[in-house]
Chains A and B, each alone.
Chain A
Amino acid sequence: MPRRRDSKQLKDARHENELFRRRAIAAFVIATLCLLGLAARFHYLQVDRYDDFSARSESNRVSLRRIAPSRGLIYDREGVLLAENVAAWRLEVVPEQAGDMDDLLKRLRDVVPLSEEDVERFLALRKAKRSFQATPLRLKLSEEEIARFAVERWRFPGVDVVPYLTRHYPLGQELGHLVGYVGRIDEKDLARVDETAYDGTTHIGKSGIERSYEELLHGVPGYELVEVNADRRPLRVLERVAPKAGRNLYLTIDSRLQIATEQAFAGKTGSAVAIDPRNGEVLAMVSIPGFDPNLFVNGISRVDYQGLLNAPNMPLFNRALVGTYEPGSTIKPFLGLGGLELGVVTAETTVNSTGEYFLPGQKRSYRDWRSGGHGRVNLIQALAQSVNTYFYSLAVAMGIDRMSQYLAQFGFGAPTGIDLVGEGKGILPSREWKRANLNQEWYPGETVISGIGQGYWTVTPLQLANATATLANQGIGHVPHLLKAMQDGFNAPIVEPSMSAPLPNIVKNVRHWETVRDGMIAVTHGGTASKVSIGSPYVMAGKTGTAQRYSRTGNVSNAPTDAKNRHKALFVAFAPAEAPVIALGLVLEFGSSGSGDAAPVARKIVDAWLLKGKPKAPAAPDEVTP
């Protein structure tokens, strides 16, 4: 086409158009060639190498399997095993391969017995997991069940018998409350933890130490890359990263003392906590009756569980940690120390006990336990004889505000901070507490009875032991704890965590402390619990307490059948009085008095600790008359 100057624009447009058309065709040809090349590649993969890839797809599959870490063991302070892992077998189902689940379960029942609970738990867990993940159906198969299933196994694709480690508590009953137990993970637990870390793990700490130290005990899961065939049966392991076992824990508990404490109760309902006052280590923590934690590990049957739940003496209730009791006279040493420290009384101050105490201008009488009274007594005598009138007048002179403020320092009315979940906190009576909880004014009469540990007062046995330990250590408290040391694997060194700093000293003047201590020694030497020291090679300082359900009416029912209305007998103690190494808080639910019933139990416990390895001292008398 000849060029024409005057139509350059037009010619260029036509030229550009033509240029574009050629380029577009070139591009389309290139694109077609590329796509043909791609198709050739697919042909190569899907036709030429079909056999190869088909075989790899059908028979060689690599699957990732999580390996649950083995749970850390729990020992007592001497290395006695409290929780171990033992080999067992369980039945697992991969839902994806199992087909019709209802039919499978029906057929499986004829081979291996399955309880309703097993099936319910399995179906619930199955929803939370993916269909290709193995889900446990029955735990702890017996030898016979394994053998029976092995024969019938071909009928059940996707079902397998798998070895696993199950938790066992060798001491059972003795430490059920304290060590707690593990149980099968349910959906609620899965929501609480990192799910991938628990993929493959079947059990999780449900109570006690097992629950509180779950993170340390669980460990880190490993994984395995396994070559599996078309039925997902493992052929060989390609790569394995070993799981990291959970940490072994050493508790401050002495299992020997724990057992001795339990035996000292001789089956009577109650609770005792023993603490080393020098460092806050809990030596024994007993709640009676106990329960066998082994029942819970592989799924407790409904009958067993209902039995435990509905038993009148509530074996599942951890009295030591959660039970709250009226402390009665056991708070008197603390109040007495407060009187001295705050300058309300001196060691020489005396009060005349006539058997009845009246607030000025009021007619209502507050009584001594001994009719006719104890006469004129100072603090030491008042502690020894548990003279109510002395403490009535001390409480009134101190006033409720100063009293509750002072006693709060011993940890009353607040959780101690022990390393167990779900601690109770009791009630320390105060104006603020009453306003916040009952929305009522404080009455002067309530100050009077608060002085002898009655009224709104409640404490847990742990709080009682903790306060006594603080008192025994001359006012320097420690947060009570159960973890003594831990170990990162079996050959690793046992590491004790650095001890937390003691709490601030409460006692300003050691003289005051000595007076109270002497009063508590007098309790066991000529006082309300004098029989408890007979034949004892060490000096025990103590204080009795009897919480009465009907303190002023005298209408006390003490018949064994009327358990609910019987007295609760309490005792606090520390020993040896000159250099205490054990402090004790003890509650006997159906005792008639602190001196008669609780103190002898305390003596046995302290004997077990202080006289260990020594020739047996003459046994403390079982019956002590008040």
Chain B
Amino acid sequence: MIEQLRWQLRQWVASSLRPNLDFPLVGALLLLAGIGVANLYSAGDYDLDLVIRQSIRLVIGLVLMLVIARVTPIALRNWTPWLYAGSIGFLLLVTALGEGRGAHRWLDLGVLRFQPSELLKLTMPMMAAWFLNRSHLPPSWLTVAMTALLIAIPAGLIAEQPDLGTALLVISSGLFAIFLAGIAWWRIGLIAGVVGAVIPVAWQFLHEYQRNRVRMLMDPDSDPLGLGWHIIQSKIAVGSGGMWGKGWHHGTQSRLEFLPEHTTDFAFSVFAEEWGLVGVCGLLALYLFIIGRCLWIATNARDTYSRLLAGSLSLSFFVYVIVNGGMISGILPVVGVPLPFISYGGTSAVSLLATFGVLMSVHAHRRRGS
């Protein structure tokens, strides 16, 4: 009797002290956020305001993560269609309000000002997982086609804004769900072939500035003072960092204002300049650890919905890293994709931590004893 009570008490204390979190993952995220803030302090030339603002967003994000971690995946699954419909509604609102005014991404709700496209980074994989979960896996052609339609609607709206970078991220997060659902490899090959054939057509629909970014990528030196400037200056920053880097706050490229957007999209260039190849490899290893840990959480999830959702969120995170890293090193076009936790940006930090909240929730409700 006493033994049983003591056991129950121990269980209760343990569950309170471990609020559904995966500690290796949380530790890695906190380390990453710390590196990001330290880098921001250097990249922003000791601008304490910038650091404080970013830290506040990180704290808000962490609280949001803890809250979401408490929600069960079943509840998330039940809300999914509504959340998806809601974010589409916000997108339509932005499109309606922003008519004829150039790039219009923000929605101002008085107290809260945010980009609805950020919501889709979470609700898109949720919706894809929810829909794929309804039928047997691997998905049939019909299921794949329907999922593709669900992806195309928000992607089209975001591309219209125009925000090609976010549109591509939303598309990829949906496609990851399809991939993880087990679509046959030969079907993937077929789709890739069709997409390859469609690219020349899609080129026609790109905005001129987007085409220029791709052209610049092919040959940045052709326009060193125009659009190629970003890439060249970033490559100089990265390359001059060498093996060991110039040291914290000793990067000259950003200090002398040669590197544009050195606290946001090009924050990684500053990091690479100041910490060298060693720092870059360490950072990439940290990212790889986070991605791997997330996939492990996904694999151990209790149901298919949780698995697909957690898996595609992990791979989306990977896409941020590869797209931003590719951009600043000059192998991918300059699209405005921030590097998670390193680039300055409030919405990005909060929405990222929200996705990790989902992962924590999946982790907390994993299959036991496997």
**Chain A: residues with CB nearer than 8 A to chain B?**
12-13, 15-17, 19-21, 23-24, 27-28, 31-32, 34-35, 38-39, 41-43, 45-47, 49-50, 52-54, 56-58, 61-63, 132, 225, 238-239
Tell me if B212 is interfacial: C-beta within 8 Å of chain A. Answer: no
Residues in chain B near residue A20, CB distance under 8 A: 180-182, 298-299, 304, 307-308, 311
Residues of B within 8 A of A132 (CB): 256-257
The answer on a CB contact under 8 Å between A21 and B179 is: no
Task: Determine whether the beta carbon of B240 is less than 8 Å from that of A35.
Answer: no
Q: How far is the CB of A565 from chain B (nearest CB, A)?
A: 62
Minimum CB distance partner of B370 in chain A: A17
Complex Cα spacing A45 to B243, Å: 10
A19 and B295 within 8 A (CB): no
Query: Chain B residue with minimal CB distance to A48?
Result: B239
A58 touches B240 (CB 8 A): yes
CA A21 – CA B310 in complex, angstroms? 12
CA distance A564 to B158 in the complex (A): 78
| In the complex with contacts A42-B272, A53-B236, A53-B238, A23-B179 CB distance below 8 A | yes
Q: A16-B137, A34-B318, A225-B225 are in contact. Are A39 and B284 (CB under 8 A)?
A: yes
The CA-CA distance from A15 to B315 in the complex, in Å, is: 22
- Cross-chain contact B242 with A35 (CB below 8 angstroms): no
Contacts beyond the supplied A45-B238, A46-B243: 12 A-B pairs with Cβ under 8 Å: A20-B311, A21-B299, A23-B179, A24-B299, A31-B318, A35-B288, A35-B318, A38-B284, A38-B322, A38-B325, A46-B241, A132-B257
Cβ contact within 8 Å between B137 and A54? no
- In the bound complex, what is the Cα–Cα distance between A56 and B322 (angstroms)? 26
- Decide: A24 and B280 in contact? CB cutoff 8 A: no
The interface on chain B, measured as residues whose beta carbon lies within 8 A of the other chain's beta carbons, has a size of 50
B329→A42 contact, CB < 8 A: yes
Taking CB atoms, residues of chain B closer than 8 Å to A31 are: 288, 291, 315, 318, 322
Asked if A62 and B258 sit within 8 Å, CB to CB, the answer is yes
Residues of chain B lying within 8 A (CB to CB) of residue A53: 235-236, 238-240
Contact at B236–A238, with CB atoms within 8 Å?
A: no
Q: Contact between B253 and A57 (Cβ–Cβ < 8 Å)? A: yes
B240 touches A57 (CB 8 A): yes
Q: Mark B16-52, 1 if CB is under 8 A from A, else 0.
A: 0000000000000000000000000000000000000
Which residue numbers of B lie inside 8 Å of A, CB to CB? 136-138, 176, 179-182, 225, 235-243, 252-253, 256-258, 272, 276-277, 280-281, 284, 287-288, 291-292, 295, 298-299, 304, 307-308, 311, 314-315, 318, 321-322, 325-326, 329-331
Q: How far, in Å, is B326 (CB) from chain A's closest CB?
A: 7
Q: Which residues of A contact B307 (CB under 8 A)?
A: 16-17, 20
Are B241 and A23 closer than 8 Å at their CB atoms? Answer: no
User: Which B residue's beta carbon lies closest to that of A50?
Assistant: B242
A225 to B239, CA, bound (A): 23
Residues of B within 8 A of A34 (CB): 318, 322
A-B contact pairs, 17 of them (CB 8 A): A17-B304, A20-B308, A24-B295, A27-B180, A28-B295, A35-B322, A41-B329, A45-B238, A45-B239, A47-B242, A53-B235, A53-B238, A54-B242, A56-B240, A63-B256, A132-B257, A225-B225
Complexed CA–CA distance, A42 and B242 (Å): 9
Q: Is A24 within 8 A of B311, CB to CB?
A: yes
Kindly state the separation between the CA atoms of A261 and B179 in the bound complex, as whole angstroms. 93
B292 contacts which chain A residues (CB < 8 A)? 28
Kindly list the 9 A-B residue pairs having the minimum CB-CB distance in the complex, ordered from nearest. Answer: A53-B239, A57-B240, A19-B182, A45-B239, A46-B277, A54-B240, A53-B240, A50-B242, A24-B295
Contact A47-B277, Cβ < 8 Å, known A31-B315, A34-B322: yes
Report yes or no: B284 in contact with A45, Cβ–Cβ below 8 A.
no
**A35 to chain B: closest CB distance in Å?**
5
Nearest A-chain residue to B280, judged by Cβ: A42
Give the complex CA separation of A132 and B258 in angstroms: 12
Across the interface, name the chain A residue whose C-beta is closest to B253. Answer: A57
Please judge, given known A-B contacts A16-B304, A56-B240, A57-B240, whether A27 and B325 are in contact too, CB under 8 Å. no
Contact between chains at B182 and A16 (CB < 8 Å): yes
Q: A35-B321, A46-B238, A57-B240 are in contact. Are A23 and B180 (CB under 8 A)?
A: yes
Collect the chain A residues with CB atoms within 8 Å of residue B295's CB: 24, 27-28
Asked whether A54 lies within 8 Å of B287 as measured between CB atoms, the reply is no
Min CB gap A54→B, angstroms: 5
Are the C-beta atoms of A238 and B235 separated by less than 8 Å?
no
CB contacts (< 8 Å) of A52 on chain B: these are 239
Q: Please give me the residue from chain A that is nearest to B45 by CB atom.
A: A131
What separation, in Å, do the CA atoms of A238 and B291 have in the docked complex? 45
CB distance from A99 to the nearest CB of B (A): 15
B315 touches A27 (CB 8 A): yes
* Contacting residues, chain A, for B308 (C-beta < 8 A): 20
Q: Which residue of B lies closest to A225 (CB)?
A: B225
* Cβ-closest chain A residue relative to B240: A57
**Chain A positions within 8 Å of B243 at CB level:** 46-47, 50
- Chain A residue at minimal CB-CB distance from B229: A62
